[in-house]
Structure 1
């Protein structure tokens, strides 16, 4: 297989490495068989920027007359990964039965499972132009035709500049700031607790305890989900350390199993995300 990933560019869409067991769990959750070549690429690197940035087409679209943008591939994860497909389909009013592998909200490249559960064709969706057309008969064809369009527009910001701007807008939080957000119960501020500054495993334990206590004291479904995702994010971003500490690992497992029993559907997604990255099985629901 020819080189595919641009390993010199950092991306927020590059997730923790995943193994074959994790891929199998994702396929079961999605209810489809992912293309073998996609799975091989994801075993190399779980999402991120690609060496090339386009795929040719004779169908004019909002991007160009002769190609569409294909500069990244979504990995297997929630939050900018393919496990967000159902949510994004609803959010952007796309057809059901897609697995979104590249896109920015207004244009999407998707594995099209509308008429199959395996060996899907690849479709392109341009919401502004209200178009849905087939790009390739298979994922392998998509990869084979991947090339660099020299006239593709750049956003003018380097990865380092983008990261600096992101950190400026989302500065790390102290324990006191996290406590204040939980105390005020401001739903608009609650999502910011994921920016808690971690130095060691005790910080993870502290964060876990504070947010769990908060979740046990509220009834609001949206706030419960936001808090649940915050714990999931902290655990999965620190999965190596968590798996080395049996106390917090077992606690995370019990937390996921409890969420998996919830009547709130999105709690099951949070439970799955935790089990995926910490590599344990959840009981069937």
Structure 2
């Protein structure tokens, strides 16, 4: 995934290029393993400003929330090597690795579980929000929007949305998927997601996988039986996807919820 802004010469977060051996040495020094998806982006560029400015959290009946983020740390200073100091200085959680933040809020990998998930920490209140089940999911949820504005819920009719879903405009499809996440007609929405599992665009199918990954728990425990059947069909379709990453994500989802 290409996330970096490459034409910013004065980028304070862009560090010297590193190789896999340097990353391995860093992991040994902190006695942790970086997610493979994190290693991949660091091998493309060792930290820096990203093309996105926010990450979307919440969905379906939850309130839409967009958290601001514009850089990701590389290995070095300022970067991941600052994490132990930041944890001590700001009295943050233990067993985390801070990979973004400037004193008022932090994004971090939480290693309290076997698969590190991504959390957001408010510096003053110490409130912790789970953002993504994995760093790979976190990357897929990055987006760009005007942070002072919220998506207009259901700003397009279902008929307009269905026409868009049949098209090839990837960004527009993903935008409409987000705007309808909290619709009350969940069966209709899931049916559209099922339809999009067959879309020719990998980006669209990845968006579907991300939406399902974030909302499976809600669907399982809060939605009626017909919705569960559609959910299973979506997961089964994505489990056969051409993309190895999507197949792996669905495998993890099945194991997590015993599907």
Please state which band the TM-score falls in when normalised by the shorter chain: 0.5 to 0.7
- Residue 20 of structure 2 corresponds to 20
| CA distance in 2: counterparts of 1:145 and 1:21, whole angstroms | 29
- Residue 101 of structure 1 corresponds to 99
Q: Does 2:129 match 1:133?
A: yes
- Residue 82 of structure 1 corresponds to 80
Classify 1:106/1:66 alpha carbon distance in 2 versus 1 (closer, same or farther; 3 Å). same
Post-superposition shift, 1:127?
1.7
| CA distance in 1: counterparts of 2:125 and 2:32, whole angstroms | 29
Post-superposition shift, 1:134?
0.6
Contact between 1:30 and 1:83, CA under 8 Å: does it hold in 2?
Answer: no
Per-residue CA distance 1:196-217 (angstroms, 9 max, x = gap): xxxxxxxxxxxxxxxxxxxxxx
**Structure 2: gaps of 5 or more residues:** 150-259
Contact between 1:106 and 1:128, CA under 8 Å: does it hold in 2?
Answer: yes
Contact between 2:105 and 2:120, CA under 8 Å: does it hold in 1?
Answer: yes
Contact between 2:109 and 2:119, CA under 8 Å: does it hold in 1?
Answer: yes
Classify 1:12/1:137 alpha carbon distance in 2 versus 1 (closer, same or farther; 3 Å). same
Classify 1:152/1:87 alpha carbon distance in 2 versus 1 (closer, same or farther; 3 Å). farther
- Residue 33 of structure 2 corresponds to 33
| CA distance in 1: counterparts of 2:31 and 2:43, whole angstroms | 20
Report SS of the residue matched to 1:134. strand
| CA distance in 2: counterparts of 1:101 and 1:71, whole angstroms | 11
Post-superposition shift, 1:67?
1.1
- Residue 70 of structure 1 corresponds to 69
Q: Does 2:57 match 1:57?
A: yes
| CA distance in 2: counterparts of 1:16 and 1:67, whole angstroms | 31
- Residue 150 of structure 1 corresponds to 146
Per-residue CA distance 1:243-266 (angstroms, 9 max, x = gap): xxxxxxxxxxxxxxxxxxxxxxxx
Classify 1:53/1:140 alpha carbon distance in 2 versus 1 (closer, same or farther; 3 Å). same
Report SS of the residue matched to 1:123. strand
Contact between 1:123 and 1:135, CA under 8 Å: does it hold in 2?
Answer: yes
| CA distance in 2: counterparts of 1:105 and 1:151, whole angstroms | 20
Report SS of the residue matched to 1:99. strand
User: 1:225-264 counterparts in 2 under 5 A?
Assistant: none
- Residue 114 of structure 1 corresponds to 112
| CA distance in 1: counterparts of 2:53 and 2:26, whole angstroms | 26
RMSD: 2.0
Post-superposition shift, 1:96?
1.0
Report SS of the residue matched to 1:128. coil
Post-superposition shift, 1:83?
1.2
> Which has more radius of gyration?
1
Post-superposition shift, 1:152?
5.6
